[in-house]
A and B are shown apart, each in its own frame.
Chain A
């Protein structure tokens, strides 16, 4: 492992663990949920409640909630996904792959109470925990489906469903569902997008996988916004079917979104200038396909 890659990893790990490191010893486990996939633990310390996937290599926060201010988005990456709203500030049909504690779906539901939101979560246990410990509540407009995202999206495409805001948030940085990172999958996602629709993908890829992933997104969507914030190990990809909006439009939308997003701790005004279309990856690497998708090996 090269020094740069090591630091990169360390940074990634650091940002995810930082919030917990202050007092992990005193963190109280308030619930353990058994799951087919991995065990889930809910801890609480200092009024901060966290959902943690119990991994062999050590615990890692999946999502956290400030019990005194449940709306606050604690993690960088959660706040960053809101950048998708700069491209489509008024979504009506939203699809989110990956529930976690339900922070993002709940926020979008509050922001756009009339929008139809479908949330996909592969693990029933995550949904149970989100309902019981992170006040995730469904209603007529916000529905969670326990299903593999690829299966749901393929079927939705065949049924001619359309969404104007699609978020892929199924990556934990630990294990990558390889069938959700291929050209064919992204084509299925693209088919679901309306003409004005936006795709927001939250990824944690490092090293070569970062390049493979970027090349794959580019092959399907053409130019996309690559969004990074210093101090965060992840990046958010923002893509559209049509050409991307100009800085002026982004700033304008940011102005309008600033007030509604303030309560979530999102400073949307600093986002537009950081949406870059400049490739910072090795463009010669191979596109990932259903035939070739060793994502977990490439990320090593």
Chain B
């Protein structure tokens, strides 16, 4: 594979990652209301807590992701965001009830209870998912001239993903699956993205490749 072909493939992977990441954030957010409701109810303040924590996590994720992207941007760090987001989403599945019981017992007011529970369960994974956005822009932008265009494309794709993630989760997924099954889908997708980024990065690049050169074909098959 040529260097430019590989770069173009990596760009496609990054665009896909932005889409799936946006999708996953909103799927988790929508399920958050259902996760918290058995303990804190489904009042308007429970949604207030969830949206507050998601916005806060994303905003800090953007800030830190942007800072990280200015020093030696590389696909390993990028893949690490997805890996960590996936691992840090697991407590939502395994420790959710335990965490919420503890919070429920120690905080009487369901407004602050839901705020604390939402922080404990969602802050870290969503923060890492927020770091994806600025970092992916840095990885895609090769020249200043294109930066606005690339940022626009990535915003478009990730927000489109969020819109679809919201729609699919609220209209269909909750009807087809259990909450934990959907969460496993999210974790699986994030792990898949981490792997896709690393595999794409590891694709060997031929020195002087020509299309009909047997050497290049052999290398490509490896």
Contact = CB atoms under 8 A, between A and B. Distances in A.
Contacts of A149: 41
Q: How large is the interface on A (under 10, 10 to 19, 20 to 34, 35 or more residues)?
A: 20 to 34
Interface in A264-300: 289-294, 297-298
B154 to A, nearest CB: 33
A37 B110 CA distance: 17
6 contacts: A151-B41, A151-B110, A179-B38, A179-B42, A290-B179, A291-B179
Closest 3 CB pairs of A and B: A148-B41, A291-B178, A179-B37
A179 B44 contact: no
Given A179-B42, A294-B174, A297-B174, A158 B37 contact: no
B44 A36 contact: yes
A262 B187 CA distance: 60
Given A36-B44, A147-B110, A158-B105, 13 more contacts: A122-B43, A147-B41, A148-B40, A151-B39, A151-B40, A151-B41, A154-B104, A179-B41, A290-B34, A290-B179, A292-B177, A292-B179, A298-B175
Contacts of B110: 147-148, 151
A116 interface: no
A37 B42 contact: no
A294 B41 contact: no
A138 B59 CA distance: 47
B180 interface: yes
A178 B34 contact: yes
Interface string B25-46: 0000000001001111111100
Nearest to A148: B41
A36 B180 CA distance: 31
A14 interface: no
Contacts of B43: 36, 122, 148
Contacts of B42: 148, 150, 177-179
B216 to A, nearest CB: 52
A185 interface: yes
User: In terms of DSSP, what is the predominant structure of the interface of chain B?
Assistant: helix
A40 to B, nearest CB: 15
Contacts of A151: 39-41, 110
A185 B38 contact: yes
Contacts, number: 59
Contacts of A148: 40-43, 110
Q: How large is the interface on B (under 10, 10 to 19, 20 to 34, 35 or more residues)?
A: 10 to 19
Nearest to A177: B42
Interface of B: 34, 37-44, 104-105, 110, 171, 174-175, 177-180
A76 B175 CA distance: 32
A293 B104 contact: no
Contacts of A37: 44
Nearest to B38: A290
Nearest to A292: B178
Nearest to A182: B38
Interface string A142-159: 000001111100110010
A291 B39 contact: no
Contacts of B37: 150, 178-179, 290
A178 B175 CA distance: 13
B185 to A, nearest CB: 14
Contact of A154 (B39, B175, B177, B178): B39
B9 to A, nearest CB: 39
B121 to A, nearest CB: 15
A290 B33 CA distance: 11
Given A151-B110, A154-B39, A158-B105, A293 B44 contact: no
Nearest to B114: A151
A151 B104 CA distance: 9
A294 B37 CA distance: 13
A36 B179 CA distance: 27
Contacts of A185: 38
A147 B110 CA distance: 9
A51 B174 CA distance: 33
Interface in A44-98: none
A291 B180 contact: yes
Contacts of A155: 104
